[in-house]
Structures are given as C-alpha cells and as structure tokens.
Structure 1
Amino acid sequence: MNLVDWDFAVTVGSRVAGPGPEVSAEEAAAAVLELREGAARSTPLVREFTGLHAAAATAPVLVVDRAGWLRANADGFATILAPIVDKLTEKKGPPSAIAEAIGSRVTGAEVGLMLGFLGSKVLGQFDPFFAPHGRLLLVAPNIVHIERELSADPTDFRLWVCLHEETHRVQFTANPWLGDHLLAQMHAVADTIEPSALLEGLRRGAESIRSGNGSVLDLVSSPEQKEILDRVTGVMSLLEGHADVVMDGVGPSVIPSVAEIRTKFNQRRKGAGSLDKLLRRLLGLDAKMAQYRDGAVFVRHVVDKVGMEQFNAVWTGPETLPSKAEITDPDAWVARVL
C-alpha cells in the first residue's frame, strides 16, 4: 500500500521551493566548502561546551540544495510512516491498484506543497532515521539567501548555523538510543490508529485548518495520540532549546558578529509576511518556535542551578527526558531526575 507518491511529492515540492538565490559557480563552491569546514570546526566546540562526546566518522555532514533536502525528507517521512501504512493495510486490506494510484498521487501533491514551503526555509536539519547513525543536512541555498537578507557576514553566519546543527548531530550520535526512542513513538502512534478514526481525524483537521483555528497537529486527536505527542514535544523542545543554548554560549568566542546576527534573525521571524505567518501556523511552525524558546529556558535554568555535568543526566535514557510539562517547570525535572 502506497499512502504517498513520494517521487511526485518531491517533484511538486521542488517546483514550489524553486532553486534558491542566484549564485555563481565560484560562490556556490566557496559556500559548500565553508559550510563543511564550519561543521568540522563546530564539533570540538560543541564537545567542549556540552561535555557530549560523539564517536568519530559517524553521521555524515551533507551540504545539499533544496531538491536534495526534499528528497532526504521524503525518504525520512516514508520511514516514519511505514508502521502506520502497515497497520492500515493489516486492518483495512490493500486498496485497488487504481484507488491506490489516485490516492497516493493526491497525498503526494499535498505533502509536496508542504515540503516545498519548508524546503525554502530550512537552514539545516539532522535526520536521525538515516541508517546507520543519521546524517546532517546543511541547505546551502537557504543559508546564502538568509545571510544576504540579513546583510550578515557570510563566514560568521555560516558558522553560527553550523554550531546549531552540529549540536543536533552530537545529541544523537553521542546518545544512539535517542533516534530509536523517537522512532518508537511513531510505532506507538501506529498502534493507536483505527481506519475510521483516521478518516474522522483527517476531516476534523481539514475543517479546523479551513476555519483558521487549527493546524496539521489537529490530525492527532485521540487521548493516546495526544499523550505520545506530548512526549515528543518534550523531547523536541529539549533538543531545540539545547542547540540554541550551545550556539549562543559558544558563539561570542568564535563569531565576532554573533550578537548582531541573533538580533537580526529574531527580528526577521517577527517580520514575516501575512501569508508566511498563516502557513507557519497551519503547519505547526509557531509551535516549533515555542520549542526553541521554552527549551532554551529549561536548559539554561537547569544548567545555572546544577551545572552542565549534572544537566547531562537528561541524556541517560527515555526515562530521564523531560516531559512537556517539565519543560515549563524545570525544577520539577530536577526534583524527579536529580
């Protein structure tokens, strides 16, 4: 059963995202080289600041264009959705060839539109589901586009981005159980899905989006699914907030214009156009911005209270990860874990 035509999704997404800013061959080569060097330079900086040690020669760093990011994410989504597709096939049986072809192409177009919008925005991403140890993607056209938009120093901005994304690579490669834990949450979602409930959830989610009162997150509707989503939200808030704390902690010592970059970058988030803001809300990206903010507050509070070494108990295993509630109540996490 093919729930999504992933090739068609990549085709649609590539058209929506476009190629990115115009750069000469020399500029493109220089950007790729500087991003690779920035990622390599970031590794010891992240290790020294966090105390996390990632094994050498794991989780490769790839500098990609927008189409490369789209293909990587299509592959990642296919991996995540595989248990859900298997469960639906088991419960409902395979559809006819015609129904499958039409249905997968429609969903492929919808996913492609979403990926196309994101593919023009994302600066970098760690893919924890790429075998065997994940991979780090740095999206060169988007990084060049934003550094130009902010009138930022290219070398400084590229290293700033690399510090954040390399922190994600270190989080997962220093703690190999973390990717397995997130994938297990996807399997847990599959175990809660009934075909009739899925259809009802899709209808309710579509209505809420059309009315402007919801996001794609509304597709997760049952109490069991919301409980899983809360667990994932706690993890993602930790990961994003931790990376922001690292980039702001390391940045001043190695990036001369880091304060200016942070100010301009935060201001840019506020100044997005109305369509951009609408799409961000519908895709749940406003929630992601909250993850950066709340997660960073959590990490800073705990580190200020007990130090980085004791904070690193958070990486022991699933049981020491903060819940969604603990992200906004870090003292509760300290009391429970430490």
Structure 2
Amino acid sequence: MEKTPDEQRGQPGFRPSGTPGRQDPAPGQGSGNPLEDLLGPLFGGQFPGGQFPGFPGGQFPGFPGGVPQGIPGFGEAGFDPAVMGQVLGQLQKFLSTPSDAPVNWDVAHDLARQAAAKDGDPTPNAVDRREVEDALRVADLWLDGTTDLAAAATTLEAWSRAEWVERTMPVWRQLVEPVATNVAAAMGDAMAAQAPPELAAVLGSAGAMLRQVGGGVFGMQVGQAIGQLAGEVLSTTDVGLPLAPDGKAALVPENVRAFADGLEVPIDEVRRYLALREAAHQRLFTHVPWLRSHLLGSVESFARGISVDGERIAEAASQIDPANPESLQEALSSGIFEPESTPDQQAALARLETALALVEGWVDHVTDEAARPVLPHAAALRETMRRRRATGGPAEHAFAVLVGLELRPRRAREATALWELLLARGGRSARDAVWDHPDLLPTAGDLDDATAFVERRLGSAGAPVQEEDAMDAALRDLLDGGSGEGPGSTPQG
C-alpha cells in the first residue's frame, strides 16, 4: 500500500519531489512553497525536504540515511515562516562562525537539543530517579548469578532527553568526526586535482567558505540524527556503544514510558528488564578495557579508507554543457561524489558489525539468564527488543545515518546462539573468558558456524584451550635448560 507523504517523510531516500505521494506542479506553476519556488531552479528542482541536492539520492556523502525528519520548514504542509526563521538563523550561525572543522558542532548541538525537545522533554522527578536507581541496583544483584564479570562501579542516574544529548555528545564527536573529515578531504582533493587551471584560483579562494558550508551541513545532519535518537533511546548503551562518561549508568524515564505503552506488561517490569540490559552493558564495557577502542577504532579505520574517484569526476565534468544547467544537475545526481567502498573499508565495517553483534548477543543472553527466574514477561520482553532491532531500532538508525553501516539484526541472533552454546558446553567462566583478549573474539565466519568455534575454543575436554604464544614458549625453553626439548621430543645423548 502506498505510503502517505507523512509516512514517507524521514524514510531513507525520501524525496518530496518526483516521487509517489506528491503531485509535482506542472511546468510554469509554483509549488505552493515560496522559498522552494525561489531556490528550486538553483538546485535542479530537488529542493529541499531534508535531502541534500547535488549528491547521490539527495544524500550527503558518508551519511546515506538522509536527515531523519527532514530540515524543518520544508515539509509537505508547505512553508512554515516560524520554523523557517529558525532554520535561517542556523544557516546564518554556521556561516558567521569562523571554523574549518569538518562538522560545525555548535550547529549540531543546538539542532540536537531542539529535536530532542520537539515532543516535550520533562525533567525526571524524584520518583523517576528513585525508580531508576532501584531498578539498576537490583539488576546488578541479579546479574551476579549469571556472569563472572563483576558489577561496575557506576553512578546510577535518570536522564532527560536533553541530558542524553549533552552527556553523549563527546563520543558522537569522536565517532563522526573522522568520517566527516575524510569525506570532506577526499572530495576536496578530487575536485582540486581535476579542476582546470582557470578554476583552480576560484576553488582556492572559495575553499574557506566551502569548508564552512560543508561543516554546517554536516552539523545539521548530525544534530538532527542525534536529536531524533534522544527521543528513542532507553539507556546510555542502547546503540551498543559506551556513549556515557565512564562510571555512569542511566535510563531515560520518558522514553521508557513510551516504550512500555501498549506492551501489556507492567511498567515496573519493563523498567527492570531494561535496567538489566544497561547493567550488563556496563559490566562488559568496564571489565573489557580494550572493547571501547576496538569499536571506535573500527569506525576510524573505515574513515581513513574513504576516497573519491577523481577520474570519474573529470569524465562527468567533460560532459557538462555550460549552456545547459540540467546537464550539471544530471552529473551531480549520477553519484560522482559518492565515496568508493575499498577492501579495507569493507573489512573495518565487517569487524565493527561483528563486534556490535557479539556485544548485543552477550547482553541479550545474560539478560535473559538473569530475567527468566524473576520477571514473568521476560521472554516477551526479549522478543520485543529483538523485533525493535529487526525493524530498525536506535542502533541500526544511528549507524546507517552517521557512519554508513547497515547493521543486520540476524547477526545479533547468531551471536546470542554462540554465547548460549559456549555456556552449555563450557560453563559461565569459559563463556566470559572469550572477552579476555580481542584475538579470542569470534569472527564473522565463526558466527556462521558457532559449533566449530566452540569446539576449537573448548577442545574435547570442554575447557578453554590455552594457546601458547612466543613468550610462553621461550619461558618454557628457559625452564627446560635451553635444550629446546619440548613435549614429545627425544632427549639427546
């Protein structure tokens, strides 16, 4: 069934003009939006509605999801002067703020706060704080019986949506900036390398302004995405990354209430289940110190590999007719600025997807182990969380929009099955020992064949196989008198 324009808005790839759900005006007629009528020809008739003209699919390179809710003021309902005034204020801000940063974080911060407050953002009261603290405290007691990872020394808090934006923004900056930096650099290098001599001086003098505009556009994109996430996330770890400052565990009570609405499960039970997931994440990120850098490093590895095909730009430029503006629009919409996917990038994204699946799978597994004996609706809540991922939850949305990674929920289920098999074959200690070192982590191939991984990891005796490294071998030789005799060797003499 065809979606209405309101349903289409915010969907990846949504474009208000030239798509089902909107009747394009006949040639010579206005659109009903005075700003669109004024600026539309400049952008080839594809402005605005939350898409970025001149880029493949109307999407800014490196951020394939598009602006989640569109740029305010340009909706199907037509021109909104009040909202448009806010948007123009933002445009003026990022153009007047001297900054060569790849992302204008002032713009991102302000838009994130505005988007987070769009549907209201009540500050958690004393009752909210007491309920959240109690749920998180009890969750840690329940987890003591399901994992060898000790409880994390954390401060237990209840956050508003605005607080979630403020507290997580530093990690978003660390996550997004490498991608934005390398997209901008790759595009700039490709354009400069292919520009004819008569345009080189123009590009050089306009470089600072273009960087400001690009940083502002990235800032708007990031701010809208983070602001929308703030209205959906249930905790600090809902996207699978340690977004909060060290030592902080929190739930977002307003979002928890919205999530529980219609589940036919008591709100207290929902809160306790979500607290179990948050506490499990906190134990993992606290007691596996290399995990944070492993996850964020995969994003940075992806960013370092971003490149743009300069020859493709040159070929497209040679076909542009200066007397025909439509030829420029056709060249821009052909994807000439789309970053290429390199083998290194694909490997980095595969590592990130696998690591996120392993984190989610472990949390899902130990949460279920702890919840089933004490929460009557544990199985139903577990399935609700899985359906949330399958239909595009905050984690899937965040990585699609901000990083360009399409997470596959099926991998998380496969990871859960692997952790469950490890528990059944080797016990709790054998399962949790896999987190001792990144080299011990299952690979994407191991998720495809969990049985082979478990047999290789545990051996026939059902206990973890200890692999001897070079240091261990050297120490053994030294203790053996340096003779080089090892197990099974024949003594000389």
State the TM-score, normalized to the length of structure 1: 0.77
Q: Distance in 1 between matches of 2:262 and 2:405?
A: 21
Q: Residue 140 of structure 1 is aligned with which of 253, 268, 279? A: 253
Q: Distance in 2 between matches of 1:290 and 1:328?
A: 11
1:107 has 2:107 as partner: no
Q: Distance in 1 between matches of 2:303 and 2:372?
A: 44
Q: Give the letter for the 1:221 counterpart.
A: S
Cα gap change, 1:47/1:6 in structure 2, threshold over 3 Å: closer, same or farther? Answer: farther
Q: Secondary structure of 2:146's match?
A: helix
Structure of higher RCO (CA pairs closer than 8 Å, 6+ residues apart)? 1
Q: How does 1:1-338 map to 2 (within 5 A)?
A: 1-18=100-117, 20=119, 28-55=125-152, 57-58=153-154, 60-83=155-178, 96-126=207-237, 128=242, 133=246, 135-194=248-307, 221-262=341-382, 283=401, 287=407, 289-338=409-458
Deviation at 1:159, TM superposition (A): 0.7
User: Are the equivalent residues in 2 in contact too, given 1:20–1:145 (CA < 8 A)?
Assistant: no
Deviation at 1:21, TM superposition (A): 6.6
User: Are the equivalent residues in 2 in contact too, given 1:20–1:141 (CA < 8 A)?
Assistant: no
Q: Give the letter for the 1:37 counterpart.
A: D
- Identity among equivalent positions (%) equals 26
User: Are the equivalent residues in 2 in contact too, given 1:32–1:63 (CA < 8 A)?
Assistant: yes
Runs of 4+ in structure 1 off by over 6 angstroms are 85-95, 267-272, 278-281
Q: Give the letter for the 1:234 counterpart.
A: T
Cα gap change, 1:70/1:143 in structure 2, threshold over 3 Å: closer, same or farther? Answer: same
User: Are the equivalent residues in 2 in contact too, given 1:70–1:119 (CA < 8 A)?
Assistant: yes
Q: Distance in 1 between matches of 2:168 and 2:229?
A: 10
Q: Give the letter for the 1:295 counterpart.
A: A
Deviation at 1:130, TM superposition (A): 5.6
- Superposed CA RMSD: 3.8
Could you list the per-position Cα deviations for residues 77-105 of structure 1 after superposition, in whole angstroms to 9, with x for gaps in the alignment?
Answer: 21234555676799879984432321111
Deviation at 1:271, TM superposition (A): 8.2
Cα gap change, 1:323/1:180 in structure 2, threshold over 3 Å: closer, same or farther? Answer: same
Q: Distance in 1 between matches of 2:135 and 2:433?
A: 28
Q: Distance in 1 between matches of 2:223 and 2:210?
A: 19
Higher share in helix: 1
Q: Distance in 1 between matches of 2:273 and 2:243?
A: 25
Q: Distance in 2 between matches of 1:328 and 1:192?
A: 27
Deviation at 1:68, TM superposition (A): 2.1
Could you list the per-position Cα deviations for residues 15-43 of structure 1 after superposition, in whole angstroms to 9, with x for gaps in the alignment?
Answer: 434455787x7x84322221122112222
Q: Distance in 2 between matches of 1:66 and 1:161?
A: 17
Q: Distance in 2 between matches of 1:267 and 1:307?
A: 28
Q: Secondary structure of 1:48's match?
A: coil
Q: Distance in 2 between matches of 1:181 and 1:244?
A: 20
Q: Secondary structure of 1:193's match?
A: coil
Q: Secondary structure of 2:149's match?
A: coil
Q: Distance in 2 between matches of 1:10 and 1:319?
A: 37
Q: Greater shift after overlay, 175-184 or 229-238?
A: 175-184
Cα gap change, 1:82/1:109 in structure 2, threshold over 3 Å: closer, same or farther? Answer: closer
Q: Secondary structure of 2:101's match?
A: coil
Deviation at 1:337, TM superposition (A): 3.5
Cα gap change, 1:113/1:288 in structure 2, threshold over 3 Å: closer, same or farther? Answer: farther
What are the ranges of 5 or more consecutive residues in structure 1 without an aligned counterpart? 201-209, 212-217
Could you list the per-position Cα deviations for residues 91-126 of structure 1 after superposition, in whole angstroms to 9, with x for gaps in the alignment?
Answer: 879984432321111111112232233222211233
For 1:205, the equivalent position in structure 2 comes to none
Q: Greater shift after overlay, 95-104 or 257-266?
A: 257-266
User: Are the equivalent residues in 1 in contact too, given 2:132–2:157 (CA < 8 A)?
Assistant: no
Q: Greater shift after overlay, 255-264 or 109-118?
A: 255-264
Query: Which structure is larger by alpha-carbon Rg, 1 or 2?
Result: 2
User: Are the equivalent residues in 1 in contact too, given 2:357–2:415 (CA < 8 A)?
Assistant: yes
Q: Secondary structure of 1:121's match?
A: coil
Length, aligned pairs only: 313
Q: Greater shift after overlay, 314-323 or 69-78?
A: 69-78
Deviation at 1:134, TM superposition (A): 5.9
Deviation at 1:142, TM superposition (A): 0.8
Q: Give the letter for the 1:326 counterpart.
A: D
Q: Secondary structure of 1:136's match?
A: strand
Q: Greater shift after overlay, 78-87 or 301-310?
A: 78-87
Q: Distance in 1 between matches of 2:304 and 2:375?
A: 47
Deviation at 1:296, TM superposition (A): 1.4
Deviation at 1:3, TM superposition (A): 1.5
Q: Distance in 1 between matches of 2:340 and 2:259?
A: 33
